[in-house]
DNA sequence: TTAAAATCGCTGGTC
DNA sequence: GCGATTTTAA
């Protein structure tokens, strides 16, 4: 997916070449085609180095070339002396692959991975020192929340008023700051449930310990404590890691920063102290503050690592001049930047386009149409992306793309292992691998239904607590047997016997085969076979896929770890598709054409962020806008809608303040749709004001009898300053107040009864044949033969016998 | 204990 | 406007 921009522009030759010295120039081939700062970033291997890499300046190329250089030039005796840390598995994979490609052979032994994956590796080796068994379980957010719910219940705290996931995010934030329960500042322990926050955090940690489990935050914290308490172990890693590389340094949180400092700051001893740490990042692309990232880390780098050098990569190989111009002006409105000036020698290209539309559906229609027209002009769908601020916005585009028959992918949708059936199957395996995994056991004790409901579970918990036993042990306890009804008793001992048998089978048989056996004998697959719901077959397919995936691992434990830390949706479908995703998940990617819908106050900048963190959040939102714009190679097209449904309610919206920051010289209003008519932003002193005045024509179809006469009551054109948003916005507000009823009228005059009847056979371009299950006005619930149940507007289906 | 009905609350997201 | 969760009825 991600392409190295430099690959397209300044180094067309294949790079499979082995790194032998170019005799004539006396330098390794892999340095060819690097610009001077890039080269410096690769060659400066000793001492701390910060590489400030602007968007599209060849950051990944520098990182991989640097690793290749360390290996090829003999700076390290073995790749395992290099530690390369990333934030995502994808980035780690990409770096591994590209380093191998650069060197011409697979690189083995390199320590490359996410912070968490590397921590697990260190922690498994030294688990006892952290009070864990080396086969500890890694809990995901789901497990975490269920555990916290139990703790809240135990403390008699109303989880309506104090929801478990709020506590979870609180604990998460503490862990991001590397704070253990006893280190919490006094006032922060008060943060939850009238002062019980700190106590609950401590209880949670204690519970994790007894469960032999870690959450994601713990992985880092345990390793930090380990290093702090056992200098000998830290020294061992100091000896091993001669060179440390960090990707996306601007995204590190306090815990990750401490972790890196411990590893990078070899404080002496027999070995000479060296801080060979190279951090690559871009303060302008710091968009994870809400997740605990500290931009301060990158801003402070030179103080933290004395003698640090800073290299700036500023030549952009990705975007056109207009796109860079607009993006640079936008980000310049932020304060507290390290400062970079991106430039390109690739020419100006097309200006960034900005279009105002009436409402969200029209926005989707406009983008859909434009994609179709790009497609007819021969543009590949893979090179087109729609980047939204928030996940829920993807829906309107999905619907539109489906009706247009344009294939698309939603990046960052629900993941394979987040599906219920996968988590259920995993729970079985977890109990087999680790009988004390109470959370897993609880999940499947009555799945499929075996008559062990809440009553039985409560008794089980009682006995377990009384005797301090894991649930699976308590399940055999005579005390419990006395309490349960015969039926439940039989059912529970049967299940326990099953687990014993499966555990034995695992010792002798292939683990993939055992998995199949477990799913079959537990009645789990049977449960889905019985299930009449249309997604049941899909779930069975997923289970099959799970078994296949397990087969690819050496053992069950290896698989369980993989799924917790690494597994993501692998797209094996090769077809060309439009990408739809959030701005956050677009970071690091690039596309020829980028659509940026929803640039409206409240949505972007996001109101919730602003409420939480004020100006700091506004700057982060602006960086997000910057990230969005700089994803585009050739074309960026921004949209804002005047009306949008929020939680099912129509609401008027105002153009985003970020539009103010876009300089006139790099932006063009969308005249193609006639939205702006003869208005010209430069001449009229603010395209926003002009745009709505001329809106009548284009919205004529929506506003049948629009009582809207903007031209009469809006006077402008004498504005000498830049975009006159403030005024435009106040006009818009008036406008919307009067326009709102028009929508209602429209809804009332629209046909409300569908020509289709329940039971009728229909055909849909995308979903194929199906039967109408329900009719609600013009909306149909259709049970498709292949695609399952969908809600579809009747206009998108035809009667089956007319096809 | 289970299934249907009603209510709630949300929608920035990696590991 | 939807899905998850909780409440209610059987």
Query: Of all protein residues, which has its CA closest to the C1' atom of B12?
Result: A390
Report the alpha-carbon distance of residue A455 to residue A125 in Å, rounded.
41
Nearest nucleotide, CA A163 to C1': B9
User: CA at A451, C1' at B2: how many angstroms apart?
Assistant: 10
Q: Is the CB of A647 under 7 A from strand C?
A: yes
Nearest nucleotide, CA A120 to C1': B15
Q: Is the CB of A397 under 7 A from strand B?
A: no
Secondary structure class of A80 (helix, strand, coil): helix
Instruction: Decide if A330 contacts A656 (C-beta within 8 A).
Output: no
Give the residue numbers of the binding site of A.
Answer: 53-60
User: CA at A774, C1' at B6: how many angstroms apart?
Assistant: 20
Task: Name the pLDDT band for A749 (thresholds 50, 70, 90).
Answer: very low
Return the pLDDT at A26: 66
Distances A136 to A233, A425, A505, A605 between C-alpha atoms, Å: 20, 18, 22, 41
Nearest nucleotide, CA A779 to C1': C1
- Class of CATH domain A137-211: mainly alpha
Query: Of all protein residues, which has its CA closest to the C1' atom of B1?
Result: A453
Q: Hey, what long-range contacts does A763-767 have (CB within 8 A, 24 or more apart)?
A: A763/A797, A763/A798, A763/A799, A763/A800, A763/A803, A764/A790, A764/A792, A764/A796, A764/A797, A764/A798, A765/A403, A765/A405, A765/A796, A766/A402, A766/A403, A766/A405, A767/A792
Return the pLDDT at A269: 45
The structure tokens listed for A493 are 């001992």
Instruction: Decide if A651 contacts A684 (C-beta within 8 A).
Output: no
Edge to edge, the sheet with strand A761-764 lists A788-793, A779-784, A768-776, A761-764, A797-799
Residue range A553-578: mean pLDDT, rounded: 79
Task: Name the pLDDT band for A787 (thresholds 50, 70, 90).
Answer: low
Instruction: Decide if A313 contacts A38 (C-beta within 8 A).
Output: yes
User: CA at A584, C1' at B14: how many angstroms apart?
Assistant: 10
In CATH terms, are A30-135+219-314 and A332-407+575-671 the same topology?
yes
Looking at per-residue confidence, does A671 or A761 come out higher? A761
User: CA at A449, C1' at C9: how many angstroms apart?
Assistant: 20
Residue range A577-598: mean pLDDT, rounded: 94
The structure tokens listed for A134 are 């080396």
Contacts of A163 (CB under 8 A, 6+ apart): none
Instruction: Decide if A312 contacts A37 (C-beta within 8 A).
Output: yes
- Angle at alpha carbon of residue A440, lines to A435 and A445, rounded to 5°: 90
Whether residue A47 is predicted with pLDDT greater than 60 in this model: the reply is: yes
Q: Which of residues 694-733 of A touch strand B (CB under 7 A)?
A: none
Q: Is the CB of A568 under 7 A from strand B?
A: yes
Scanning A392-449, the segments in alpha helix (DSSP H) are 394-404, 420-433, 438-444
Strand A49-53 and strand A277-281: pairing? parallel
Name the DSSP class of A654: -
Return the pLDDT at A676: 36
Whether residue A175 is predicted with pLDDT greater than 70 in this model: the reply is: yes
Catalytic residue numbers of A?
A: 59-60, 247-248, 285, 631
Phi, psi of A779 (to 5 degrees): -100, 135
User: CA at A273, C1' at C4: how many angstroms apart?
Assistant: 54
Q: Is the CB of A36 under 7 A from strand C?
A: no
Return the pLDDT at A713: 27
Protein contacts on strand B: list nucleotides below 7 Å from a Cβ.
1-3, 9-15
Q: Which tens digit of pLDDT belongs to each residue from A107-136? A: 889 999 999 999 999 999 999 999 999 889
The structure tokens listed for A317 are 């190989």
Q: Which tens digit of pLDDT belongs to each residue from A181-222? A: 999 888 888 878 778 888 889 999 999 998 899 999 999 999
Q: Is the CB of A721 under 7 A from strand C?
A: no
Question: Which of A614-628, A651-665, A695-709 is predicted with the least confidence, judged by mean pLDDT?
Answer: A695-709
Distances A217 to A48, A116, A138, A227, A412 between C-alpha atoms, Å: 27, 8, 10, 16, 21
Return the pLDDT at A283: 92
- Return the H-helix or E-strand segment holding A243: strand A243-246
Query: Of all protein residues, which has its CA closest to the C1' atom of B8?
Result: A160
Looking at per-residue confidence, does A680 or A742 come out higher? A680
Task: Name the pLDDT band for A478 (thresholds 50, 70, 90).
Answer: very high
Nearest nucleotide, CA A420 to C1': C4
Q: Report the 3 state secondary structure along A331-372.
A: HHCCCCCCCCCCECCCCCCCCEEEEEEEEHHHHHHHHHHHHH
Whether residue A517 is predicted with pLDDT greater than 90 in this model: the reply is: yes
The structure tokens listed for A209 are 């310990």
Return the pLDDT at A688: 39
Return the pLDDT at A429: 93
Residue whose token pair is 């209880």: A203
Q: Alpha-carbon Rg of chain A, whole angstroms?
A: 29
Return the pLDDT at A87: 92
Return the pLDDT at A344: 92
Return the pLDDT at A474: 93
Whether residue A726 is predicted with pLDDT greater than 70 in this model: the reply is: no
Secondary structure class of A241 (helix, strand, coil): coil
Residue range A51-76: mean pLDDT, rounded: 93
Instruction: Decide if A43 contacts A69 (C-beta within 8 A).
Output: yes
For every residue of A513-578, DSSP letters joined together read: HHHHHHHHHTTHHHHHHH--STTHHHHHHHHHHHHHHHHTSSSHHHHHHHHHHT--------S--E
Query: Of all protein residues, which has its CA closest to the C1' atom of B14?
Result: A88
Return the pLDDT at A737: 29
CATH 3.90.45.10 fits A417-567, yes or no: no
Nearest nucleotide, CA A392 to C1': B11
Strand A137-138 and strand A213-214: pairing? parallel
Q: Which of residues 266-325 of A touch strand C (CB under 7 A)?
A: none
Nearest nucleotide, CA A149 to C1': C5
Of the candidates A413, A435, A440, A437, the one whose C-alpha atom is nearest the C-alpha of residue A424 is A440
Return the pLDDT at A149: 86
Domain covering A30-135+219-314, topology: Rossmann fold (3.40.50)
Of the candidates A558, A539, A646, the one whose C-alpha atom is nearest the C-alpha of residue A602 is A646
For every residue of A251-317, DSSP letters joined together read: G-BHHHHHHHHHHH----TTSPP---EEEEE-GGG---GGGTB-HHHHHTHHHHSTT-EEEEE-B-S
Q: Which tens digit of pLDDT belongs to each residue from A270-294? A: 444 567 999 999 999 999 998 889 9
Looking at per-residue confidence, does A753 or A136 come out higher? A136
User: CA at A396, C1' at C8: how many angstroms apart?
Assistant: 35
The structure tokens listed for A764 are 């849909």
Whether residue A6 is predicted with pLDDT greater than 50 in this model: the reply is: no
The domains of chain A are located at 30-135+219-314, 137-211, 332-407+575-671, 417-567, 760-799
Question: Which of A537-551, A555-569, A690-704, A745-759 is predicted with the least confidence, judged by mean pLDDT?
Answer: A690-704
Distances A96 to A6, A91, A108 between C-alpha atoms, Å: 18, 9, 9
Secondary structure class of A605 (helix, strand, coil): coil
User: CA at A533, C1' at B6: how many angstroms apart?
Assistant: 22
Residue whose token pair is 């020829």: A592
Of the candidates A619, A633, A553, the one whose C-alpha atom is nearest the C-alpha of residue A590 is A633
The structure tokens listed for A498 are 């099953």
Question: Which of A245-249, A330-334, A374-378, A782-786 is predicted with the least confidence, judged by mean pLDDT?
Answer: A782-786
Q: Is the CB of A141 under 7 A from strand B?
A: yes
Return the pLDDT at A122: 96
Name the DSSP class of A794: G
Q: Is the CB of A498 under 7 A from strand C?
A: no
Return the pLDDT at A24: 52
Whether residue A674 is predicted with pLDDT greater than 60 in this model: the reply is: no
| % of chain A beyond a pLDDT of 90 | 43
Nearest nucleotide, CA A457 to C1': B1
User: CA at A698, C1' at C10: how many angstroms apart?
Assistant: 56
Return the pLDDT at A197: 85
C-alpha distance across the termini of chain A, in Å:
38
Instruction: Decide if A243 contacts A82 (C-beta within 8 A).
Output: yes
Return the pLDDT at A14: 37
Looking at per-residue confidence, does A180 or A723 come out higher? A180
Distances A616 to A189, A327, A336, A391, A529 between C-alpha atoms, Å: 24, 19, 10, 22, 52
Return the pLDDT at A791: 59
Question: Which of A603-617, A661-675, A689-703 is predicted with the least confidence, judged by mean pLDDT?
Answer: A689-703
Nearest nucleotide, CA A647 to C1': C1
The structure tokens listed for A59 are 């950051």
Return the pLDDT at A793: 60
Q: Is the CB of A795 under 7 A from strand C?
A: no
Q: Is the CB of A789 under 7 A from strand C?
A: no
Q: Is the CB of A620 under 7 A from strand B?
A: yes
Report the alpha-carbon distance of residue A57 to residue A35 in Å, rounded.
10
Q: Is the CB of A617 under 7 A from strand B?
A: yes
User: CA at A647, C1' at C3: how many angstroms apart?
Assistant: 13
Whether residue A689 is predicted with pLDDT greater than 60 in this model: the reply is: no
Residue range A99-104: mean pLDDT, rounded: 92
Whether residue A702 is predicted with pLDDT greater than 60 in this model: the reply is: no
Give me the architecture of the A332-407+575-671 domain, per CATH: 3-Layer(aba) Sandwich (3.40)
Phi, psi of A53 (to 5 degrees): -110, 105
Q: Which of residues 149-168 of A touch strand C (CB under 7 A)?
A: 159
User: CA at A610, C1' at B15: how many angstroms apart?
Assistant: 26
Tell me how crowded residue A741 is: count the other CB atoms within 10 A of its CB. Answer: 12
Most confident of A438-442, A696-700, A787-791: A438-442
Q: Is the CB of A645 under 7 A from strand C?
A: yes
Whether residue A525 is predicted with pLDDT greater than 80 in this model: the reply is: yes
Return the pLDDT at A529: 86
Q: Is the CB of A494 under 7 A from strand B?
A: no
Q: Is the CB of A290 under 7 A from strand B?
A: yes
| % of chain A beyond a pLDDT of 70 | 79
Return the pLDDT at A70: 94
User: CA at A143, C1' at B12: how many angstroms apart?
Assistant: 22
Strand A761-764 and strand A797-799: pairing? antiparallel
Cα-Cα-Cα-Cα dihedral of A96, A100, A105, A106, to 10°? 0
Nearest nucleotide, CA A645 to C1': C1
Return the pLDDT at A801: 59
Return the pLDDT at A274: 67
Q: How many residues does chain A have?
A: 803
Rounded-to-5 percentages of helix, strand, coil across chain A: 50, 15, 35
Q: Is the CB of A138 under 7 A from strand B?
A: no
User: CA at A198, C1' at B15: how many angstroms apart?
Assistant: 24
- Return the H-helix or E-strand segment holding A214: strand A213-214
Preceding peptide of A434 cis, ω within 30°: no
Return the pLDDT at A692: 35
Whether residue A691 is predicted with pLDDT greater than 90 in this model: the reply is: no
Protein contacts on strand C: list nucleotides below 7 Å from a Cβ.
1-2, 6
Query: Of all protein residues, which has its CA closest to the C1' atom of C1?
Result: A648
Give the residue numbers of the binding site of A for ATP.
Answer: 53-60
Averaged pLDDT of chain A: 80
Instruction: Decide if A364 contacts A378 (C-beta within 8 A).
Output: no
Question: Which of A92-96, A139-143, A231-235 is predicted with the least confidence, judged by mean pLDDT?
Answer: A139-143
Q: Which of residues 629-668 of A touch strand B (CB under 7 A)?
A: 646-647
Q: Report the 3 state secondary structure along A370-395.
A: HHHHHHHCCCCHHHEEEEECCHHHHH
Q: Which of residues 213-272 of A touch strand B (CB under 7 A)?
A: 216
């Amino acid at each position: 997916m991600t392409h190295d921009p430099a690959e397209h522009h300044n180094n067309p030759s294949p790079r499979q070449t082995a790194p032998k010295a170019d005799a004539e120039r006396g330098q390794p081939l892999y340095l060819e085609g690097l610009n001077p700062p890039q080269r410096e970033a690769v060659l400066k291997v000793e001492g701390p180095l910060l590489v400030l890499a602007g968007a599209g300046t060849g950051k990944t190329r520098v990182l991989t070339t640097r690793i290749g250089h360390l290996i090829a030039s003999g700076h390290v005796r073995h790749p395992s002396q290099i530690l390369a840390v990333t934030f995502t598995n994808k980035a780690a994979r990409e770096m591994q692959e590209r380093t191998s490609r650069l060197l011409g052979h697979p690189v083995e032994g390199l320590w490359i991975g996410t912070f968490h994956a590397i921590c697990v590796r260190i922690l498994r080796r030294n688990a006892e020192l952290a009070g864990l068994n080396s086969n500890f379980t890694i809990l995901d957010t789901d497990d975490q929340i269920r555990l916290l719910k139990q703790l809240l219940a135990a403390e008699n705290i109303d989880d309506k008023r104090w929801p478990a996931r709020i506590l979870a995010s609180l604990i998460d934030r503490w862990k991001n700051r590397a704070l253990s329960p006893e280190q919490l500042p006094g006032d922060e322990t008060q943060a939850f449930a009238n002062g019980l926050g700190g106590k609950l955090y401590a209880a949670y940690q204690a519970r994790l310990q007894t469960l032999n489990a870690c959450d994601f935050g713990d992985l880092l914290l345990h390793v930090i404590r380990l290093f702090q308490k056992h200098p000998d172990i830290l020294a061992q890693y100091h000896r091993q890691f001669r060179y440390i590389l960090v990707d996306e340094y601007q995204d590190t949180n306090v815990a990750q920063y401490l972790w890196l400092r411990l590893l990078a700051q070899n404080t002496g001893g027999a070995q000479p102290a060296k801080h060979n740490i190279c951090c690559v990042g871009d303060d302008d692309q710091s968009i994870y503050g809400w997740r605990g990232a500290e931009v301060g880390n990158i801003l402070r780098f030179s103080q933290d690592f004395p003698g640090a050098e800073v290299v700036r990569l500023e030549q952009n190989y990705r975007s056109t001049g207009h796109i860079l111009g607009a993006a640079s002006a936008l980000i310049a409105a932020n304060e507290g930047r390290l400062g970079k000036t991106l430039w390109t020698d690739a020419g100006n290209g097309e200006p960034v386009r900005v279009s105002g539309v009436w409402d969200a559906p029209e926005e989707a229609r406009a983008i859909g149409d434009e994609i179709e027209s790009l497609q007819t002009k021969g543009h590949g769908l893979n090179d087109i992306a729609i980047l939204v601020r928030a996940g829920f916005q993807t829906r309107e585009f999905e619907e539109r793309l489906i009706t247009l028959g344009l294939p698309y992918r939603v990046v960052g949708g629900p993941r394979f292992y987040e599906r219920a059936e996968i988590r259920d199957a995993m729970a079985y395996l977890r109990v087999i691998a680790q009988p004390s995994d109470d959370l897993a056991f609880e999940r499947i004790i009555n799945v499929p239904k075996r008559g062990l409901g809440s009553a039985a579970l409560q008794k089980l918990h009682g006995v377990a607590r009384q005797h301090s036993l894991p649930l699976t042990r308590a399940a055999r306890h005579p005390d419990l047997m006395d309490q349960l009804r015969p039926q439940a008793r039989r059912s529970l001992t049967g299940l326990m016997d099953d687990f014993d048998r499966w555990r034995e089978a695992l010792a002798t048989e292939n683990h993939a085969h055992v998995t199949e056996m477990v799913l079959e004998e537990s009645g789990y697959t049977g449960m889905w076979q019985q299930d009449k719901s249309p997604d049941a077959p899909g779930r069975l397919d997923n289970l099959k896929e799970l078994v296949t995936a397990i087969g690819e691992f050496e053992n069950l434990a290896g698989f369980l770890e993989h799924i917790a830390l690494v597994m993501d949706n692998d797209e094996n479908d090769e077809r060309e598709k439009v990408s739809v995703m959030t701005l956050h998940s677009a970071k690091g990617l690039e596309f020829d054409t980028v659509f940026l819908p929803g640039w409206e106050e409240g949505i972007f900048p996001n109101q919730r962020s602003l409420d939480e963190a004020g100006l700091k959040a506004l700057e982060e939102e602006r960086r997000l806008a910057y990230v969005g714009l700089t994803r585009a190679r050739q074309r960026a097209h921004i949209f804002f809608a005047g009306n949008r449904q929020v939680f099912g309610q129509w609401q008027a919206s105002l153009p985003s303040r970020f539009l103010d920051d876009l300089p006139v010289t790099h932006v063009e209003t969308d005249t193609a749709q006639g939205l702006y008519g003869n208005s010209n932003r430069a001449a009229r002193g603010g395209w926003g004001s002009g745009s709505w005045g001329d809106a009548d024509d284009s919205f004529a179809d929506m506003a049948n009898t629009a009582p809207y006469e903007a031209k009469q009551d809006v006077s402008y054109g004498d504005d000498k300053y830049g975009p006159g948003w403030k005024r435009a916005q106040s006009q818009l507000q008036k406008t919307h107040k009067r326009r709102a009823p028009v929508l209602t009228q429209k809804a009332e005059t629209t046909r409300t009864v569908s020509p289709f009847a329940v039971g009728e056979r229909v055909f849909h371009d995308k979903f194929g044949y199906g039967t109408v299950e329900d009719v609600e006005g013009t909306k149909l619930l259709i049970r498709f033969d292949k695609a399952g149940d969908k809600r579809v507007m009747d206009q998108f289906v035809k009667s089956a016998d007319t096809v």
